[in-house]
Structure 1
Amino acid sequence: MFAFLPSIPGVDDVRALAERVDTARHRGVPNGCVLELDLRSAPPEATGFDPLAIFTGGKPMALRDAVAAIHRAAEDQRVAGLIARVQLAASAPAAVQELREAVAAFSAAKPSLAWAETYPGTLSYYLASAFGEVWMQPSGSVGLIGFASNATFLRDAFDKAGIEPQFVARGQYKSWANRFTENGFTAAHREAVTRMLESLQEQAWRAIADSRKLDPATLDALADRAPLLRDDAAAAGLLDRIGFRDEAYARIAEMVGVKDVSDDTDPPRLYLSRYAGAARPRLAAPKPPVPGRRPKPTLAVVPLDGMIVDGRGGPGFLPFGAPTAGGDTIGAALREAAADESVSAIVLRVNSPGGTITASESIWREVTRARKRGKPVVASMGAVAASGGYYVSMGADVIVANPATVTGSIGVITGKLVIRDLLERLGVGSDTVRTNANADAWSIDAPFTPEQQAHREAEADLFYTDFVRRVAEARNLTADAVDRVAQGRIWTGADALEHGLVDELGGFRAAVRRAKVLAGLDEDGEVRVVSYPGSSLRDMVRPRASSQPAAASLPDALAALLGRAAAGILDNVEQSLGGAAVLWAGQSRF
């Protein structure tokens, strides 16, 4: 008959129940947990819409969210350590650098461990070296091979095919069209790329040397022998242990204080993406103002990601498309942030290689107008902010760049590819009817006439002169001084600082701190960070009545009574459903 009595819970049952209660009480973050991170590539600057996300486990974390989560975890008493697999594919050096700084800050406060089956390249090991311990599987190798840049040149192939490149460039280093017009690196092109690679390597060697207590010259010698097999890498001080995944996980358990480590005594683990969602402050419904208490200050973040294009832009339709930064989209976001009285300052986060001159100029204009309205603007440069990406940044009060950011490229290029000879070889006829002499100037069926070519030359001269003049005015330099570092030449952020093109080195967090100071706020004080244009569910489904900023077109009383209350309700619904913000950016060309 005893078989029908309810069983008495055992020690394991009680422990499991206690862990569930503790996890719920701490909003999904169990006490003493170890965060996990799987890094096959650096987190993207922004996450677009991916219809396959439901099949692949969800979209990746954005770089800004990953960095913020790691910094938050370093101060979170519930988090005991961090373990990551670091096997980066091709990634932007500045993005890896920004992530590495966050990992280094965590490692200075708590145990951390990097492991990999193999470290496939320099950036993989560069990131891994920021962890407290570096592990590798026995069959792996450390690919600390330095940096290289490969380029493909099509001029000879075009000559054989009957394609004529017709481009006008201003700036001897403006090399975008060289792939079409040359059959190898020009002297200027090689000089600029060489210096960029040297700067990146100097930064990587210095960081690795500091973390691993090595000399940069030793690293340079090792790079000439790399990839290094396990024994050589360990003997050189690049690895702490040769071991497998299960051994690495047992080691991080020891590092966080677990005794007699086994599968049953492992500390609870949590993916960084889950931690970021659980640890993010919950949005509460608006509360009536408390007399004598000021609301938390607000910083607006306007993400500009992708090629700068005329018109509207938006996130990429993953996995097929890339994000674009539309002049209309970014301009509207800047106007709305500038009109919002609750916004104390604006951070323009730029990750763009350039785009159209007209869209770049339109965004630059809105940056300067926001400043005239009394809103400090800080440009935060991501992996790349070159050409048009620099153009939109130069209007800010302060420019903050990562040391490895690719920036500069202050120059102009315009032109087309002419396929007339190719068509003739293929037996394809082509003819034109036009009403005026230049109506078909941009046709690919015929080259520019001498008059049209002269117009292209004059146009390039005008655009380059305007670009240099505006940089000189923004950076408080002479036009001659700007011209010497312009000429279409790319620079790393570290070199750009030396040449006066940026004000400060650092990532998004540094830009936020600078924005708070410019707004007269406490540098270490808490602020609300709000993305413009809005990326919540209500922002995507709510139609706009006009191009007028919403903050300027709605009466403050109505916004307070209806708009903010409804916004709070929808935000809470969205958060409870696990909705993730989408950072809208844009496209363009320069």
Structure 2
Amino acid sequence: MNTIQVPKADSSKKTSKLSKTMMILGIIVGLFILAGIGLSFLFSGEDSVEVKMNSILVVSFSETLNEYTLDAGPFSESTSASFLEVLHAVKNAKNDPLISGIYIKAAGTPLGFAKLEEIIEAIKDFKKSKKFIYAFIETGSKSDYLLASYADSIFMPKEGLAEIQAPGASVMFYKGILEKMGVSIHVEQFEEYKSAGETFSKDKFSQPAKEEIAVILNARAQRMYQLIATGRNIPIRTIQEAFDRGVYASDSLLSLHFIDGIAQESEVKEKIKRKIESINLKKSGSSDKIKNLSMISLTEYSEAKNAYKNPLKAPENQQLAIINGVGAIRSGKSGSSNPFDQGTMEIASSSMASDIRKAKEDINIKAIILRIDSPGGSVIASDELWNEIKSAKKVKPIYASMSDVAASGGYYIPMACDTIIAHPQTITGSIGVIAMIPYLSGTLNKLGITIDTLSTGASSQDMNVMMPMTERSQMKLKSQMYPIYQRFVQKVADSRKMTFDQARALAKGRVWLGNDAKNNKLVDTLGGLGLAISMAKKRIGISDSMDIIIKSYPEKKDFLEELFSTITKTKRNEEAQILSDQSSFMSFVHHIVTSNMLPLQIKQQLALFWNIMHVSSKEKVLLTMPYIPMF
């Protein structure tokens, strides 16, 4: 009997056919997406926001307030306003005849102290217009109440709660859990205050770490009490005693005059209607009733075409650039993000260096503001950016504006600027270096794995993580770290015009608030982003009363370019595939951790943990600060 043999198909041809099929499907899907985009753009103009007469500007932060925003894409809702857009919105609303007042609504999202106080200054300036400000707190944090304390009237519902309690810190130490896994983290630090690595090697604060954090917490607590006392016209002693006890319920807050009334939000909105009607009656004699309140968000007001704009404008060929450096510092281009962060912002040195060069080469940009909000990270990346700034400032002036945090690598980079401006509540300094090396010999022992070695020289097993740390390895690590620390301190000395010994006395890894940094000559002047813009305008001969075009970096990405890039992207190398595989897992982790399952302070500490471990996997020596509560 003859056997009929069916020839096997060529697997390469199968793969080729499959690839062609997938490509055709991709093109078809892409065409549908492009058609959708076209329709979204076609009809998007019909949804443009318009500021109506008697509008109320809603100041509320349901998401983390970032220094800049990225394009959400044509199918996504508009992203939240950036910090600069918030400042401009409140400033413009002051002079806008269409805006009757501000409504502050607590959203439970803590703001960094420096940003928060600058927003309060904008609110105080708004009050000069004699327009009203009402606030409503259903539930809220300390930062929510601090902002609301500058309203004319604060209301809470009967069952409302506010976290009116004294500031403090609860820091997680990982030594115990690492020991259970047999992992030993060897930490070296220059010098005693450089405590970021101690959370991995200790089970509680060292004395220097406790000292530096306590100084910041106490200073911020006193500043918070002062601000609330001023906003509410209550003696500071009463404020402090209330915070010491911890007051939460609305009736207790009312009895202490912390709020002005108990009401549901619908009732507060009715009060606002009556307020507007009263104003209109006095101004124009109109007795018309307000049926529906026109509430406009910060984002909507920033985008509204008929919102108030300053008629005094600087020439279009005289512009400023704000280059935002937000998040942990690492080498390379932007793209990957920390799964524990509240957002996807990072300082990727190649990308930020490119932004600096763009601003330097743009003939219309006359001055640059480097806006830093970073706890530090990579030594190599920080030094790369330091050199890029030194090159740029030969062409045009560069100002550094420090946000909530500009420490360690976040201080290293601004040192290259002409002028450093820190907010009094900025956390800065942390001039020092750390190194962290995980040793896994304990883990291998637990698993019953033994190690045998072959060496061709005395250094073959130096810092071998599969074996216990040796004295030789420890000395070698210190010898690698100390020159980096010396160069950091010397850069401080050169930048701040002091001797090496004077700079070292202020270094040792210690963090400082902006006020102390100014007293110690680590920064040039105190102020926020608004002051930095004013100083830059003055430098290029533009009156502070004029609006100026500000180009913000990183620039928003063009969605169509990103789409085509995604459709046509192919696997370039094995590392890219590994990153792609990791990203799906990290997306899952991000979803879990950024949900409400974990308290914010735990998320923040996990973010720092991730940043340190991520950078230390590539570099032994780091420029990063310890965890300090945002508020």
Output the TM-score relative to the length of structure 1.
0.79
CA contact (8 A) 1:35 1:270 kept: yes
Distance in 2 of aligned mates of 1:269 and 1:338 = 41
Matched, 1:272 2:298: yes
1:450 shift after superposition: 3.5
Quick check: 2:492–2:503 contact (8 Å CA) kept in 1?
yes
Aligned equivalents of 1:434 and 1:85: distance in 2? 66
Which one-letter code corresponds to 1:207 in the other structure? L
2:230 is the alignment partner of 1:204: no
Q: Does 1:534 align with 2:541?
A: no
Question: Equivalents in 2 of 1:248, 1:366: separation in Å?
Answer: 53
User: What is the CA-CA distance between 1:127 and the residue it aligns to?
Assistant: 1.2
Q: CA deviation at 1:319?
A: 9.2
Matched, 1:347 2:369: yes
> Per-residue deviation at 1:159?
3.6
Q: Conserved in 2, the CA contact under 8 Å of 1:471 and 1:482?
A: yes
Q: In the alignment, what sits opposite 2:164? A: 144
Q: Name the counterpart of 1:404.
A: 425
Separation (CA, whole Å) in 2 of partners of 1:280 and 1:506:
31
C-alpha change, 1:282 and 1:90, in structure 2 (3 Å) is closer
Residue 178 (structure 1) aligns with = 198
Number of the residue aligned with 1:555: none
Residue number in structure 2 paired with 1:238: 258
What is the aligned partner in structure 2 of residue 327 from structure 1? 349
Q: 1:401 to 1:542 in 2, by over 3 A?
A: farther
Instruction: State which of 341, 349, 358 in structure 1 corresponds to 2:380.
Output: 358
Are 1:37 and 1:272, in contact at CA under 8 Å, matched by a contact in 2?
yes
For each residue in 1:110-142, what CA deviation from the matched residue of structure 2 results, as whole angstroms up to 9, or x when unmatched? 2111101133x3222111112222111111234
Q: Secondary structure at the match of 2:245?
A: coil
Report what 2:472 is aligned to. Answer: 451
Distance 2:357 2:453 in 1: 44
Other-structure match for 1:84: 104
Aligned positions of 1:25-424 closer than 5 A: 28-48=50-70, 57-109=77-129, 110-119=131-140, 121-256=141-276, 257=279, 265-279=291-305, 295-314=316-335, 316=337, 322-373=344-395, 375-424=396-445
Paired position in structure 2 for 1:477: 498
CA distance in 2 between partners of 1:339 and 1:358 (Å): 24
Answer yes or no: is the 8 Å Cα contact 2:369–2:398 preserved in 1. yes
Bigger drift between 517-526 and 109-118 goes to 517-526
**Secondary structure at 2:443 match in 1:** helix
Q: 1:50 to 1:185 in 2, by over 3 A?
A: farther
The CA RMSD over aligned residues, in Å, is 3.3
Instruction: Give the conservation status (yes or no) of the 8 Å contact 2:316–2:549.
Output: no
After superposing the two structures, state which structure 1 stretch, 402-411 or 29-38, moved more. Answer: 29-38
Asked if 2 retains the 8 angstrom alpha-carbon contact of 1:168 and 1:415, the reply is yes
1:163–1:420 CA contact under 8 A, matched in 2:
yes
The Cα offsets for residues 350-406 of structure 1, whole Å up to 9 and x where unpaired, read as 111101101001111111111122x11111111211100000011111112222221
Cα 1:281–1:237, aligned 2, differ >3 Å: closer, same or farther?
A: closer
Partner of 2:135, secondary structure, is strand
- Structure 1 residue 332 displacement after superposition: 1.4
Distance 1:157 1:446, change over 3 A: same
Contact 2:153–2:260 under 8 Å retained in 1: yes
The 3 A distance-change label for structure 1 pair 435 and 245 is: farther
**1:253-306 C-alpha deviation (Å, 9 max, x unpaired):** 3333256999853442222211111148999xxxxxxxxx95451101111111
- Of all paired residues, the percent bearing the same amino acid is 26
After the TM superposition, which of the residue ranges 134-143 and 354-363 deviates more from structure 2? 134-143
Q: Is residue 308–residue 388 contact of structure 1 (8 Å, CA) maintained in 2?
A: yes
Q: Residues 142 and 227 of structure 1 are in contact (CA less than 8 Å); yes or no, is this contact kept in structure 2?
A: yes
Partner amino acid, structure 1, of 2:387: R
TM-score, normalization: structure 2? Answer: 0.74
Distance 2:556 2:459 in 1: 43
Deviation at 1:438, TM superposition (A): 5.0
Unaligned runs of 5+ in 1: 1-23, 284-292, 545-585
- C-alpha spacing 1:435/1:517, structure 2 compared with 1 (3 Å): farther
* Residues 218-253 of structure 1: CA deviation (Å, up to 9, x unaligned): 211111122243233223221112111012112223
Structure 2 SS opposite 1:535: coil
Aligned amino acid, residue 31 of structure 1: M
Contact map agreement 2:158 2:250 (CA 8 A) in 1? yes
C-alpha distance in 1, partners of 2:476/2:150? 53
Please tell me the residue identity of whatever aligns with 2:326: D
The whole-number CA distance in structure 2 between the counterparts of 1:542 and 1:87 is 34
- CA deviation after TM superposition for structure 1 residue 440, in Å: 6.5
By how many angstroms is 1:448 displaced? 4.5
